Structure 1
């Protein structure tokens, strides 16, 4: 166990923002909040799971928020996913452009489903005022020590 000022983590391994989506499944083809990787990983083994960056309003970014993909459309979805990841010598660069459902939808649709995880909410604003609003939403929705932002 690791103690970060009252927030207890299972270990020192913390995921980067968006790697595992929102940490919980929502629909059939939007596995774990737009992250296909999370379905094969035991998320409880991480010290903490960091959400994809959340903004005040939903953003398509450079990918999409679409969740109604039909089976015949999956090649298009994979092409979009491929275009948002750039292979470099050291690994991959993520170019999703803050594609997210918005902070209020995260708390409505995912937050309670991930109560068994240590969560870090990544927030992104375009001004100091937006950051203040984002922090206000987190403070209103989560108990102290329940989440980090």
Structure 2
């Protein structure tokens, strides 16, 4: 084994350990409630919350609502985002939540305009900063 391979192994193990730690952290927020999004969305959301706490790095949440939307539009929406961005469809609230890591308010506004122009069935509800550990806590006032 050379040094490069050992570095790769270390990185992979660190990544796995980070997921385990984050999973344990997230579990305490969901003892008495059901998550609104898929696990990966919650995991990335929590990472962005921690980065905000530790380093002051801003991430944004953009929330759209809709009256009627087809599965083909949902598929297209999910694949319209950067590789870093995350998508969450909260069906019972008729909202779509986008997590935009490392994106401040100005970037979130530009994103919301681009999505709103392309998908006329969506209406911008709110742009928020990731400042709480879960999507539910951050979006509580909007998703009542």
TM-score w.r.t. the length of structure 1 is 0.26
- When you count strand as a share of all residues, which structure comes out higher? 2
Larger Rg: 2
Greater helix content: 2
TM-score (normalised: structure 2): 0.27
